[in-house]
Amino acid sequence: MHLIMRVLTHISISIAMLICFAFSVSAENITSSVKGKVIDSNSSKPIPYASVALEGSSMGAVTNFDGEFVIENVPVGHYHVIATCVGYKLDKKELELKGGKNSVLEFKIAEDFIGLDQVVVTADRNRIQRKDAPVVVNSISTKLLEQTSSANLADGLVFSPGLRVENNCNNCGFSQVRMNGLEGPYTQILINSRAIFSGLAGVYGLEHIPASMIQRVEIVRGGGSALFGGNAIAGTINIITKDPVANTFKAGVKYGVVGVGVDGGGDAASDMTADFNASVVSEDHNSGIFIFGMNRQRGEWDANKDGYSDMVKLKNISAGLRAYHRLSDLAKLTLEYHVVDEYRRGGDQLNLKAHEATVAEEVSHRINSGSLAWDQYFNQDRISKLSVYASGQSIDRDSYYGAATIYDENGVALSTPIPDYGAYGQTDDLAVSTGIQFFTKFDNLFFAPADITLGLENVYNSLKDDKLGYYDFTNNEFVKTTNIADQTSNTIGAFAQSKWDLGAVKFLLGVRMDSYEIKNSAENSNYSNTVFSPRANVLFDVFKGSQLRVSYARGFRAPQIFDEDLHIEASTARRITHELADDLTEEKSNSYTVSWDYTKAFGKMQTYFLAEGFNTQLIDPFFNEFSEVDASGNMVMLRKNANGAVVRGVNFECKLAPSYKLDFQMGLTLQSSKYDDAVDQGEDEDTANTTTDDILRTPEQYGYFAMNWKPLHEFTTTLSGSYTGPMNLIHLSGGDDKYGNEIHESLVKSDRFMDLGINFSYHFDLGSDVKLQFDLGMKNIFNSFQDDFDFGPSRDASYVYGPLNPRTIYFGVKLGNIL
């Protein structure tokens, strides 16, 4: 089966390339130009930087400062011309273009204060209006990221229903996103619909995506494996990067102070971020390039003055580009490249080398990733499109996860702790994804108009993790084990789906087959299987403005090493390695979703409400079982299959915008996350205090809100916040509490938190549409932050919960023509 699928993949891609070349050279036709203007339907003022495109084509233009546009050399034919702009509803006009005759169009588009009329791509891997999508697609816009002063993706993801971002280690700052209560590896993270993120990149990847490169973030909750492969059990986060659509620029600097006025906390830490982006487009709009960059320098912060970091030291440089070239009006080539150079360090004595500290977690990442895509339409009707794409990511990581020996074998404190020289490591990771996708439309397929999408994908990943001084105690002697993980995985997937439009009812059926093979050389184990993932979605237009969606999707996760396995918690001399059980099988899921949303305009006031119920059944879910600490100070975390689990709940979302001067949005999630059987989730032999059927770190209530008020054209105030309800988590033994008492392992319920922030923004118009903007704000105004961190070198570094940041004030300045 694997050989056949590989052969089919290579043959299909080869044929596709030949077809692309064949169709990229089209016969010369008589051409004309399309000119016109885009104006605001309410004020009749011109709208600059609006996009005007021929639907289904690679041809288009962007309006100038006077709202005017010109599309040259358009072949004769019948077109649908679409005008869009961020913050506005789209408008579409039909056009019959005849040879030698130019056409003039005028678009009047109305403001879309709450972003319900936008085009999305994550619902079914094709461009579709959000209101016509068979699943609910939430979107986080650039505007919201800027108004909430989100420096990167991790900061902004909290502003969507069902999403919560958490910190999982105060030694290294490992963060992850949870969707509908399921931890990070259950969510597939995409960049422009491509699975570039490898398992290793997911450890810190949310902070590697600067807000300056993001056009919007699309979120689809519920199983997505039928479209995007494994790890999409909880849902999909698709990062849509900015396209070069006009000659633009923006540069900014922000300086923040972390831990301001925190009682009992250490000295405040500085947080400096500088970023820029710019795009250049040729006069004929056949070529363009967008570039971006970010440099962030943040100091460490100690929440309880015990000498150990609770927020790590961070240095991050991220840069990249996205470029396109139109080979014809039917063919487009797109290139993308990103590079990240990051250093982070936590523990104590951060001014010393890692092995000289009592506890140190230190990582340096050098990440290179990129993608290449060819989109080819087959004829002037633009009803059929072929896409061939490839993406890859290479990661080189140097690490130190270790702790000095501070007690002898009798438990007596050593006057000079013994350094752990062997905790240095090197990790190499390579991920490559190639694929082909074909899309076409039928006026009538069996019984109704339909869209068909077919595709083949191959995803390869190679991961090797070496440590310089790990030992096993075998046959009464210590044996050095340099290699900790050596895994290769290859998954070949084929997918097909069809979407029928019956007017008031639209439904979609799809299925994906994935054949995976995983080899773990370090454990001398192999895993392989073929998995089928179906999906079914139905959209009912109940009445004007009211829609009901019903969805089912099956998902899976292959039994491989995931991102959380590549982060090691160091506490005194204890180290954790990861192994897979011999009988481990893939984790599967059945996801059911029912949602109802209602949109209504009362004059200029726009309103939106969503209620979405979800039920996800996990079959053979992965579960980590801890071993006892061996004679060499090592602990094994064995991944096994549990009996089952169910995550169910409801998401609410509400948006309200009386005018462009005021808008409000909020989201709330109520949920329950349970294993079928109670399991021991601790390390100690005494399981009485750590056995529970709760999936840990999943609060039963959490949500967010954001409100923007614009009393003046130049001035905007944003009030935002996120709420986290109580949750259960394990507190491991070893550390001391604030009274000096030793902590014993137990199941703990956390406090509830309300992280409230405010941002003031004022800009000056400098002419030629260039603006100078100043921002002043505060995050976590009331310092709703964890206050029971462990003390001392034996602390539980994973005992972290609540908001990501303590009270932080900041000041920023930006200059550009796209503010």
Q: Is residue 336 part of a domain?
A: yes
CA dihedral of residues 630, 635, 636, 642 (deg, nearest 10): 110
Which range, of 559-573, 613-627, 765-779, averages the lowest pLDDT?
Answer: 559-573
Predicted pLDDT at 20:
45
CATH number of the domain at 241, please: 2.40.170.20
Which backbone phi and psi does 57 adopt, to 5 degrees? -125, 165
Q: Which residues contact 210 (CB under 8 A, 6 or more apart)?
A: 151, 152, 275, 292, 294, 318
Among 113-122, 171-180, 204-213, 715-724, the range of highest mean pLDDT: 715-724
Among 418-432, 456-470, 493-507, 633-647, the range of highest mean pLDDT: 493-507
The residue written with tokens 């949750």 in the block is 727
Predicted pLDDT at 17:
46
Residue closest to 160 by CA, chosen among 135, 141, 133, 175 = 141
Q: Residue 444: count other Cβ atoms within 10 Å of its Cβ.
A: 8
Q: Is residue 522 part of a domain?
A: yes
Residues belonging to the chain: 819
- For residue 365, what pLDDT band results from cuts at 50, 70 and 90? very high
- For residue 217, what pLDDT band results from cuts at 50, 70 and 90? very high
Predicted pLDDT at 231:
79
Q: Is residue 642 part of a domain?
A: no
- For residue 380, what pLDDT band results from cuts at 50, 70 and 90? low
What are the tokens at 166?
């958490």
pLDDT per residue over 307-362, tens digit each?
999 999 999 999 999 999 988 878 999 999 999 999 999 999 999 999 999 999 99
Domain boundary among 92, 109, 126: 109
391 & 313 share domain:
yes
What CA–CA distance (Å, rounded) separates 636 from 625? 8
Which range, of 200-204, 500-504, 807-811, averages the lowest pLDDT?
Answer: 200-204
Domain boundary among 83, 109, 135: 109
Span 359-380, average pLDDT: 90
Position 11 pLDDT exceeds 50: no
Q: Which residues contact 195 (CB under 8 A, 6 or more apart)?
A: 188, 189, 228, 229, 391, 433, 459
Among 571-585, 708-722, 741-755, the range of highest mean pLDDT: 708-722
- For residue 280, what pLDDT band results from cuts at 50, 70 and 90? very high
205 & 350 share domain:
yes
- For residue 577, what pLDDT band results from cuts at 50, 70 and 90? low
Q: What pTM did the predictor assign?
A: 0.89
Residue closest to 771 by CA, chosen among 146, 285, 239 = 146
Q: Is residue 51 part of a domain?
A: yes
99 & 244 share domain:
no
- For residue 420, what pLDDT band results from cuts at 50, 70 and 90? confident
Domain boundary among 109, 135, 166: 109
pLDDT per residue over 461-479, tens digit each?
998 888 776 655 556 665 5
- For residue 243, what pLDDT band results from cuts at 50, 70 and 90? confident
For residues 89 and 5, the model is more confident at: 89
379 & 426 share domain:
yes
Position 8 pLDDT exceeds 50: no
183 & 59 share domain:
no
- For residue 631, what pLDDT band results from cuts at 50, 70 and 90? low
What are the tokens at 214?
């993001």
pLDDT per residue over 601-616, tens digit each?
888 888 999 999 999 9
CATH number of the domain at 27, please: 2.60.40.1120
Predicted pLDDT at 193:
86
Q: Residue 502: count other Cβ atoms within 10 Å of its Cβ.
A: 12
What CA–CA distance (Å, rounded) separates 196 from 285? 28
pLDDT per residue over 681-695, tens digit each?
776 666 667 888 888
Mean pLDDT of the chain: 85
302 & 237 share domain:
yes
What total of structural domains would you count in the chain?
Answer: 2
- For residue 551, what pLDDT band results from cuts at 50, 70 and 90? very high
What CA–CA distance (Å, rounded) separates 291 from 279? 6
What are the tokens at 640?
């096994």
Which backbone phi and psi does 708 adopt, to 5 degrees? -115, 130
Pairing mode, if any, of strands 103-109 and 31-40?
Answer: parallel
Give Cα 195 to chain centroid, integer Å.
11
Among 54-58, 100-104, 621-625, 702-706, the range of highest mean pLDDT: 702-706
Q: Which residues contact 557 (CB under 8 A, 6 or more apart)?
A: 185, 186, 230, 231, 233, 586, 587, 622
Domain of 28 in residue numbering reads as 5-109
534 & 517 share domain:
yes
What CA–CA distance (Å, rounded) separates 318 from 368? 10
Q: Is residue 631 part of a domain?
A: yes
Position 632 pLDDT exceeds 60: no
39 & 122 share domain:
no
Predicted pLDDT at 1:
46
Q: Is residue 348 part of a domain?
A: yes
Position 635 pLDDT exceeds 50: yes
82 & 184 share domain:
no
232 & 347 share domain:
yes
Task: Note whether 489 and 596 are within 8 A (CB).
Answer: no
Q: Which amino acid is at 116?
A: L
507 to 265, 548, 596: CA distances (angstroms): 55, 12, 16
DSSP 411-428: SPEEEEEEP-GGGEEEEE
Position 568 pLDDT exceeds 60: no
Residue closest to 275 by CA, chosen among 149, 148, 141 = 149
Predicted pLDDT at 334:
95
Residue closest to 37 by CA, chosen among 60, 59, 63 = 63
Predicted pLDDT at 793:
86
Pairing mode, if any, of strands 77-84 and 645-659?
Answer: unpaired
652 & 670 share domain:
yes
294 & 320 share domain:
yes
Predicted pLDDT at 573:
41
Span 389-410, average pLDDT: 87
Cα atoms in the 13 Å half-sphere on the side-chain side of 224: 28
Span 396-422, average pLDDT: 82
Task: Note whether 371 and 192 are within 8 A (CB).
Answer: yes
Q: Residue 406: count other Cβ atoms within 10 Å of its Cβ.
A: 17
| SS3 (DSSP) at 423 | helix
What are the tokens at 799?
């005992």
What CA–CA distance (Å, rounded) separates 578 from 564? 10
Task: Note whether 416 and 461 are within 8 A (CB).
Answer: no
**C-alpha triplet 433, 155, 367: angle, nearest 5°:** 35
Position 522 pLDDT exceeds 70: no
Residue closest to 151 by CA, chosen among 296, 5, 304 = 296
What CA–CA distance (Å, rounded) separates 662 from 759? 15
